[in-house]
């Protein structure tokens, strides 16, 4: 007669799977980039079944093993950015939260983990991740320019390109808060979607998010976009660097959220008029490759938060 797996053995197995996934993430090219998004799942499963306490113990064990097998820096990154996401999601599932609350709390934990990871690298290991990333981008551009020189591209054109790169890198430094937020959003989304795929296979339930066409984000982001635009103008015209940096990040984040809302509105319209998948994909592709049209979609999405076009022109979201 087959014996059931005890909670201790299950916790050890899931911690071991976390370590294996972490090793694959670091040492296997290309595939590792995909496997990375599954690193949170073992801890999510463990936490959902046995509670947050067992999840944190497994996280600590996984971090120690990964530190010995790869490096403390990479282990810290995996443990914080993915491990904590998994524990947060598993805890929410255990508490029977609805899908929106689960995703929001996972996103909050992911954002805090990103900030904490960067802070620890700067404070403990004297690694300025922001400057390091920007320097890596700069070196990548320099290698590209050297390649173009070998290919015989005119020096004047290369010089013009170099002159455009440096201001772009300065702007990239300003946008680090936004990039951190986007990274946290990608991690939280990947954790949630992979959990939706894996949990049912393990006879575990996780609520599904509402259909994309029904998404309605808070109108607060319409006002933050207005604040960001005005702050950007004041900061630029009056030389207020701090106001400019804050406003730039606020405006871009608001625009990204408006873009999501705009695509949700488009999805509703496509559903309403029963457009085929082929037509939808063509229209989405046209929008994505055209920056002007993307801006129109983002502005429309921000306005939709305020006026609710689905209710105003279509009589609701049926």
At residue 2, the pLDDT reads 43
| pLDDT for 202 beyond 90 | no
Across 110-122, average pLDDT: 84
Across 284-292, average pLDDT: 90
* 172 close to 18: Cβ distance less than 8 angstroms: no
| pLDDT for 297 beyond 90 | yes
Across 43-56, average pLDDT: 92
Residue spans of the domains in the chain: they are 1-126+177-209, 210-318
Across 273-299, average pLDDT: 90
* 7 close to 54: Cβ distance less than 8 angstroms: yes
At residue 125, the pLDDT reads 67
At residue 136, the pLDDT reads 67
How far apart are alpha carbons 136 and 127 in whole angstroms? 14
At residue 133, the pLDDT reads 65
Phi and psi torsions of 239, nearest 5°:
70, 25
Of 313 and 254, the structure prediction assigns the larger pLDDT to: 254
Query: 88: pLDDT confidence band, cut at 50, 70 and 90?
Result: very high
* 59 close to 81: Cβ distance less than 8 angstroms: no
What is the chain's mean pLDDT, rounded? 85
* 15 close to 45: Cβ distance less than 8 angstroms: no
Across 11-31, average pLDDT: 87
Across 92-120, average pLDDT: 90
At residue 318, the pLDDT reads 47
Of 231 and 138, the structure prediction assigns the larger pLDDT to: 231
Domain 1-126+177-209 has CATH 1.10.1760: yes
How far apart are alpha carbons 49 and 44 in whole angstroms? 9
Across 30-46, average pLDDT: 87
At residue 20, the pLDDT reads 92
DSSP 3-state of 216: coil
pLDDT, tens digit, 9 for 90 and up, residues 143-180? 777 777 777 767 777 677 767 766 666 677 777 788 88
* 81 close to 180: Cβ distance less than 8 angstroms: no
Query: 129: pLDDT confidence band, cut at 50, 70 and 90?
Result: low
| pLDDT for 52 beyond 80 | yes
How far apart are alpha carbons 67 and 79 in whole angstroms? 10
At residue 252, the pLDDT reads 92
């Amino acid at each position: 007669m087959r014996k059931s797996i005890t909670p201790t053995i299950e916790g050890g197995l899931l911690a071991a799977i976390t370590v294996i996934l972490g090793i694959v993430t670091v040492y296997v090219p290309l595939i590792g980039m995909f496997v990375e998004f599954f690193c949170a799942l073992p801890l999510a499963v463990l936490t959902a079944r046995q509670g947050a306490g067992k999840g944190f113990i497994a996280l600590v064990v996984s971090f120690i093993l990964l530190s010995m097998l790869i490096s403390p820096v990479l282990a810290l990154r995996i443990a914080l950015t993915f491990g904590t996401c998994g524990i947060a999601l598993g805890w929410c599932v255990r508490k029977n939260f609805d899908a929106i609350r689960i995703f929001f709390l996972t996103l909050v934990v992911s954002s805090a983990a990103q900030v904490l990871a960067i802070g620890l690298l700067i404070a403990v290991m004297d690694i300025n991740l922001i400057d390091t990333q920007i320097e890596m981008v700069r070196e990548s551009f320099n290698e590209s320019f050297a390649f173009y020189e070998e290919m015989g591209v005119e020096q004047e054109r290369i010089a013009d390109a170099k002159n455009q790169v440096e201001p772009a890198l300065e702007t990239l430094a300003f946008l680090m808060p936004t990039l951190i937020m986007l990274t946290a959003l990608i991690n939280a989304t990947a954790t949630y979607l992979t959990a939706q795929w894996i949990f049912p296979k393990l006879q575990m339930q996780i609520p599904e998010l509402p259909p994309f066409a029904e998404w309605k984000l808070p109108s607060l982001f319409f006002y933050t976009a207005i604040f960001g635009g005005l702050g950007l103008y004041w900061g630029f015209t009056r030389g207020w660097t701090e106001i400019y940096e804050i406003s730039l990040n606020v405006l871009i984040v608001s625009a990204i959220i408006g873009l999501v809302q705009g695509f949700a509105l488009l999805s509703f319209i496509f559903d309403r008029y029963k457009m085929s998948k082929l037509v939808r994909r063509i229209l989405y592709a046209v929008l994505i490759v055209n920056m002007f049209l993307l801006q129109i979609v983002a502005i429309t999405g921000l306005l939709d938060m305020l006026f609710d076009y689905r209710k105003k022109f279509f009589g609701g979201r049926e």
